Structure 1
Amino acid sequence: MRVGSFAAGAVALVLLLTWIAFRGMSAELDDWKHASTVLEKIETARNMIDRNVLSARTGILRNYDPIVREIGLVRSSVERLRSDTVGDAEIGDAVGALQEALVRDERLIEEFKSRNALLQNSLAYFVVLNQNLEGQSQSQGQSRDFAGQIGRLAAAMLRLTLDTTPGSAAHVDAQLDVLLITSIATGNVVAAQPLLEHGRMLRDQLPATDALLRDLLSSPASGHMEAVQRLIEERAAAAGAAASMFRYMLYIISVLLVCMLVYLGAQLQARARALRFRADFEHAIAAISTRFLSSGSADPTSHVERALSELAACIGADRAYFVDGRMAGDYQWSRNGVDPAPGWPERMRRLAAAFERGDNGTIHVPAIRRSARATTRARTGREIDRGPGDAIDQMADAGLHAWVGVPSPDAESPGGILGFDALRPGPMTRWHDYGLFRMAFDTISAAVERDWLTREKERLEAGLQQARRMETVGALASGVAHNFNNIVGAILGYTEMARERVPPDGRLAENLDEIRLAAERALALVDQILTFGRRGISQRKLTRVRDLVDETASMLAASLPPRIELRVRDSSGDTRIPADPARLQQVLMNLAANAAQAMDGEGVIDIAIAAIETGDAVRLGSDELGPGRYATLRVTDGGRGMDTATQERIFEPFFTTRSDGNGLGLATAREIVREHGGAISVRSAPGEGTTFEVWLPYAIPESRPKESAPGRQLPVTSLRGEGETVLILDGDGQRLLRLEEIVAALGYEPVGVTRAEEAARSLGRPGSEFVAVLICEPRSSAFDVSALLRREAPALPIILATTSAADIHPPALAAAGIREIVHSPVTPAELARALSFCRKSQETAAG
């Protein structure tokens, strides 16, 4: 009964599809045939219009109603054609062009009707007048010349009605002129005047009407109709071909559907068996999960191995293994006598990368056979392929007949895999529902990860305590650094002022120099602490790597011990990087200083510059760089070197191996390199020296002239003023007094104020002449103060004292009228250079 119903349904489906094939695809073809019929009606109506127009021109047709009817028929037919082809843009455009041409023809027909009516009327009058005048001339016995001229004019006009060429028109003009002269000579001017008027009118109307008729008969509508007809024929032919094709396709599909139904019916029983097997497999996974949950925090090794054996038994695998790349777990199970070769799970984890994953994230290789290419490679010893084919050949060499792998879907755990090896043909090759293995992978991975997370939690808690201590120390150090910076700045300022007032070779001068050096070292330490904690946006520009290294080397030559030799090797060419040169110079200075200290002040520091382009990701220390182009700076020394433990902590803030170090140099260097999108690494061994390698992304810009190197700064003593007046604005009274003393010590006359309004009034007083204005205000209000002062003295240079200018853009400074920036707290040397620059700019403007 079931077979009979199934067969009846299949026959009904075939009959239904066959009926659709022969009946469902003819509507479009009928539409195009109907459009072609409408187009034929338009053509017939146009032909009738042309015939009627010609009849009206010859005088046969006196009534224009047939023309009007045909025009109405053309209009309605065009509208019907447009509605029939509305779904086809190309035919719609062609029909639109046809409709425009027909509208033009209608305008020409209307004009023709008006002209032809006037023409026929004038022609009738001309004939009557001609006959009357000729009869009168004969009855009254007038001159034969006059009567003959009337006849010749009639003949010329008759010729013009048949031939409206310029020659016929000129002949009529000549006859009209002769008749006019003859009528004057014979005294018949009054009688001939109406004939002459109608003759001239006919002479004008006949050529114009025929020209209009020629335009009408040469209408572009015929070409547009041919184009529409061609497109309709193409669409009809395509629709007919499509109808035939779809009839055959639907018939074939019907047959295929019947075959598919038969096949699906045969698979129902196999599917039922598969569902029973799936239920058993899910039950096994549930049992494994229950054991993992009940095991608590015990070592999961035995439970994982048992789970692998149960899963392998379900599909007839001979080996099973689970590897987690993140947690470094490696669990294996194998049937007796089929132990894997050493390193086999790791090898399969690498081979899995050559295969594409299925929809459920699994990889199934049902049959593994050694390929001909593998035989050729074994014979010749040459590598042929590194894709899936090569991986299958390696599996075949290991004796595998089938393989199932479940790679980790988590990007944080690369390389994790659950694998099953079949060393003999068996049920594993007939099993297809591998999506369950993703569930098995997740179950085992969760159990292993739970154990790993427990141990990781303990490690992170210890690290968190250390991080909290470091955070507290860092916050305390940053707060102390800001206050200490002001104190040291005051010490340095007063020391330099005192140094200017003592003899240069005395004991007191030496003591002041030592105080100044100690204060500068303290400022450098504070600056390193603040720089390490700052996260400002540096000003980048395209910088040539070799120029950056050469400039840094010139500074190092003056600061390194005399027995340190600095060597620079360059293979980078014209490599340029988007960088903040000052901050990258700080990186090189720190690395070179560390290298000199590691060699105890004697040896060679080698700086190698190169340009590298890589297509793979590169790991440098704890950072990873993607594929791209990089400029590399390698700083190598032959010093004491470091052990592994020291290398792991060398970039930590405040970690140092020297008693006089502060532990911020390398930490700051790494932060600067990271800000530039690069990475830094260290390679060292005790007694073998140390190599620091810096990678920075680079670009090769168009060639441009090199920027001139900045000149060497002049000493403070050569930058003293000559009594010029300097206006100082600082809301802090104590700091204002110290700034006035510094400015006075530099040879200038200070005028200090604490409010912006007082500064503006000082600038506005008659006769006040200032060489510059020094603003020591918070950056949030400094630009407003600058704008206020510029209204009083637009050309006066303004100097801004700020703790950091890293995130101030040069265009903003220029717009505010700020010429120079000095570091706060202000030092005499930096202020002297800024004032000297302002004084020179004033002198240049005055000259």
Structure 2
Amino acid sequence: MKRTFPPVLALFVILVLTALLRNGMQPGPGEVDTMQRALDRFENAQHMLRRDVISVRAGLLRSYDPIVEDVDALYAALAPLDRMAQTPANKALIEDLQASARRQEALTEALKSDSALLQNSLAYFSTLSASDDLFDQANVEAGRLTGAMLRLTLNTSSDTQALVDRRIADFAAGPGRSGRDREARAVLLSHARLLRQLLPETDARLTALLAEDDVAARAQLRAWISHERVRAETRAQRYRNALYATAVLLTVVLAGLGVRLAVHMANLKRRGAFERGLAEMSAEIVAARPEEVKARFDSGLARLALHAQADAAFLFGEGDYGCARIWPRPYQGADPDWAPAARALAGLAQRRADGVFRGAATWPWPEGQDAAPRRANIVAMVLVNEHGDHCVLGFARFEGRVQIRDADLGVMRLALDVLAGGVRRSRMEQQRSALEVRLQQAGRTEAIGTFAGGIAHNFNNILSAIAGYVEMASAIPKTPRAVTRYVEQIGVAVGRARRLVDLILLYGARSSPVRQRVDLRALLGESVSLLSAAHGQTATFAIEAGEEDYRVLGDPSRLQQIILNLASNAVQAMGGNGQVALTLGRRVNRAPVEKTSGVLLAGDYVVLSVVDHGVGMSAATRSRIFEPFFTTRPEGNGLGLATTAETARELGGAVNVRSVLGSGSTFEVWLPAGGQAPVGAVSAPGRGETVLLLSDSESLCQDEERIAALGYEPVGFVEIERAIAALRAWPQRFDAMVARTNRAECAIALRQAAPALGLILLSDTRLRANAPLRTLAASLPNSRLLSGSLTATDLAEVIAQAPTATGGV
């Protein structure tokens, strides 16, 4: 319908203009002009008829054919008038003219007859007057009669008629002398009497014919024709005015269309340039190195703000879209907290059907020192993924409106998709890099632990021999006191060496850690009691914790060891005197970030801070404090902080250190809140445990790579029958089972084949849509259903909970 409308409209306009032009060029209708010409022909025919009749009466015209043609012309002129009579009044007038024409025809016919007789009689008189031998002698009366008849021919007045009557009487009274004379007299007398009768009658008919002129009817018809002409001219003028107005309107419309077309072309050119810039921005973000990503985002926001003519552009996301970037940056000298405002705008946009918020909202004022929020015109659009994570792209302008039209929303949504995709790619790359770093660290730590453990075991054997000899030497009676004192000092050194060996064995231990939810607030209070008893009155400990949830997943004894290690180090850094501040807080990390002990992934964390005002550390010391066996104290062993960092890493966290030489230190331990590992975290890699993997042919390789990257050895199967046969043939070979399936019978078959092994079901369907499989997994012992990514924590837990578990993480 939309495609056919413009041609139909154009055709309609052409027809209207044509109609206006035709009606404006014809000042009167054709019927009026035809009537005018017919009336003119009627009058002309009537004049021609009178002329010809007079010519016949005068004897100048001998043929009656012109008169017949004149009569025919009268009727021919009346024919169109009769056909075009438009009103009853006009019809009556035309009928009057027709009646007049008929009367003129009748008079003409009579005149034609009379004229023929007159011509005959006048011809006889002419012959008589030219021949003198018709009478016996010259007859005066005949001459007088001829003269009187000639006079009657010219004038048919009553006096002339009386004179003719006397002359006829005188001529009739004269005697005839011979028969020939009497006969001639009789013929002349009969012609005289005929002329006496016809000439007055002919003149009377001629007078009647000349008087037969319906001037009033013709005048009324002409007046009506003139009125119709005026009406037609007025109507034509209206059409011409309408044509002019239409032409002006069409010109205005065409000019408007031209302006709109020019604006549209400019917008298309502007949009094309913007889309090219958007493609370049996307390519730059994709090709950017990790250290260049933030600069690319800022550059992209600057382009978008320039396109929208905005004072500020921001990109804010949470969850998978975790980011917080704003342009201009720095915010023109001020750095207001704009994240809450961006989060509120994301909520407003989500409530809109199209996901776009337009209107006034409070936004931080960027200029000068006054960072108080002000009302600004805002355009914000939100993108939400299937997990409910959102990413909002917004623009703010304090004076005027943000220049984003409805036609630009599609491009801006594309820009949001590009930026959000860039955020996700950047996060995935950071998580991949962090995973590689963590795996490398785990490998190095495991190697060091294995090496140290082996040395410690051998060293422990040597210490055992020394301790035995010490006991034997102490049992020798009458040993000199000096020797006894030396033997006791050897025993004390052996005790210290045993404690060092225990720390080395703890650092390199391969035992399965206990995993349970631990309230750090309560654990911190218990630890401070132990610290106060150990350090006496010279050192004090201040605890600061809010009312938030500070539960984490871990081993209470190892978590307490972290607190004791850090607090004891703080007391020692202050020389045994002073106050140590221990603070608990909650922090949200939107993207992977580098901490002192390693990369910390995105997530929600509980942060334990230990602050002292001791001697502090140099940058060189800070860079090595988490290395095993590195220490700055002669009595230290270099394993306390290494064990702290390793324990935090196993729990999916990290340790960060801030210190200034001579001004004290702050140690922050970041642990996943609520016992949940952060996004993409591997809380503890495996130790080479064997995992039976059942997957489809398309996902098998990817699942095997994932399990191998987590530190486990996968054995993959595509067919359930072969997997069950492997379980039954060598049940001790496997430490856990992982099956990617949506079928309940597969889960039941695996559980029946190996009741003691932990089972993880990977479902490609979201949990809400797979309620039967979820219920089955809950009913099976040591089984769980996952709809997301498989983590080392999941494998470690099912392996640790298995009665036949042989290893752990």
TM tier, smaller = 0.3 to 0.5
Q: Mark the structure with the bigger radius of gyration.
A: 2
Structure 1 length-normalised TM: 0.34
Q: TM-score when scaled to structure 2?
A: 0.35
